[in-house]
């Protein structure tokens, strides 16, 4: 019988056992750093707060974006959250992978609890130049969607990871857009939620890969997933370039940090830039987790 802890395959160039453990650790570090950067730039910085709030004033009247996102946003409820968790764990149990089912449950619960704890522990300084309501970072609704997306990526058989990453990205984007269109959350809240869920994926994978009986190293991005990986690279790259460019131009064009009114003429551009940023981060998170590799 082949020893499942034999994790090298020189003929196919698969990673060593150390490489296989380093991947989720690096992914976790990158996402936690991104989470900190989002908090620092958009919660602790006055200019960041202004740009973040400006996107809400630029979203305009309900239209096509609202029509596209409202059905996705509307299903998020307590019964839905419970049912999604049961399905995710069930996928792992059907494969008779009981440790994976525990890991998926930890990821799902941990992501959502972490978001609520962060909301309670962190504050949003009032610089007198922001919208009325206080801290809403990260978004709870978006955390639910992101946690579902990355949990399915964790438990699905390796051959399905590519399509699941693409569909998960779309689901995350529509939910994130929906919370902004509805005026429930700022874009930074959405981006923070993506990173919380992604970081939890890296954490549970790091822990699992410390247990030799839980995995066999395989190619990080299998042939079936390479097309999806390239698609995510393109989507994330284009959206990031547009989002960063538009938001940077918006910040540099502000006549004053106290001007967050729609009349500034920059609100719609800030809204468009933030929508691009949401796409970039959603695709980037899924691409990063796809690169961590299949769970067997």
Does residue 148 form part of some domain? yes
Distance CA 280, CA 1 (A): 44
Does residue 163 form part of some domain? yes
Distance CA 251, CA 277 (A): 15
The DSSP symbol for 14 reads P
pLDDT of residue 56: 83
Does residue 5 form part of some domain? no
pLDDT of residue 222: 56
Does residue 7 form part of some domain? no
pLDDT of residue 5: 38
The count of structural domains within the chain is 1
Does residue 186 form part of some domain? yes
Outline where the chain has alpha helix (H): 17-42, 46-57, 64-74, 78-94, 98-121, 140-155, 161-181, 187-208, 223-253, 267-292
Distance CA 168, CA 166 (A): 5
- Give the three-class secondary structure for 256: coil
pLDDT of residue 2: 36
pLDDT of residue 9: 42
Does residue 3 form part of some domain? no
Does residue 187 form part of some domain? yes
Does residue 1 form part of some domain? no
pLDDT of residue 55: 86
Structure-token match 């590799």, residue found: 293
- Mark the ranges of the chain whose per-residue pLDDT is less than 50: 1-14
Whether 115 and 72 have beta carbons less than 8 Å apart is answered as: no
pLDDT of residue 274: 96
Print the domain residue range for 119: 17-292
pLDDT of residue 203: 96
Distance CA 95, CA 205 (A): 18
């Amino acid at each position: 019988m082949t020893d499942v802890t034999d994790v090298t395959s020189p003929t196919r160039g698969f990673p060593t056992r150390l490489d296989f453990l380093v991947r989720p650790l690096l992914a976790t570090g990158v996402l936690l750093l991104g989470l900190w950067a989002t908090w620092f730039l958009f919660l602790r910085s006055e200019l960041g707060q202004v740009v973040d709030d400006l996107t809400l004033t630029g979203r305009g009247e309900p239209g096509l974006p609202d029509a596209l996102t409202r059905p996705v946003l509307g299903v998020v409820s307590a019964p839905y959250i419970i049912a999604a968790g049961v399905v995710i764990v069930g996928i792992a149990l059907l494969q008779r992978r009981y440790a994976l089912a525990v890991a998926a449950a930890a990821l799902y619960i941990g992501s959502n609890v972490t978001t609520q704890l962060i909301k309670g522990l962190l504050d949003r300084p009032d610089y007198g130049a922001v919208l009325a309501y206080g801290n809403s970072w990260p978004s709870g609704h978006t955390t639910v969607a992101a946690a579902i997306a990355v949990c399915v990526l964790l438990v699905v058989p390796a051959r399905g990871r590519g399509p699941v990453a693409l569909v998960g990205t779309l689901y995350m984007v529509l939910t994130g857009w929906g919370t902004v269109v509805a005026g429930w959350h700022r874009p930074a809240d959405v981006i923070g939620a993506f990173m919380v869920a992604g970081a939890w994926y890296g954490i549970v994978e790091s822990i699992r890969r410390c247990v030799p009986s839980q995995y066999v190293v395989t190619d990080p991005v299998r042939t079936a997933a390479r097309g999806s990986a390239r698609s995510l690279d393109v989507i994330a790259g284009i959206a990031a370039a547009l989002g960063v460019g538009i938001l940077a131009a918006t910040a540099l064009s502000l006549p004053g940090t106290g001007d967050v009114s729609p009349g500034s003429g920059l609100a719609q551009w800030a809204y468009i830039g933030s929508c691009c940023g949401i796409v970039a981060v959603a695709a980037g998170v899924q691409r990063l987790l796809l690169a961590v590799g299949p769970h067997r």
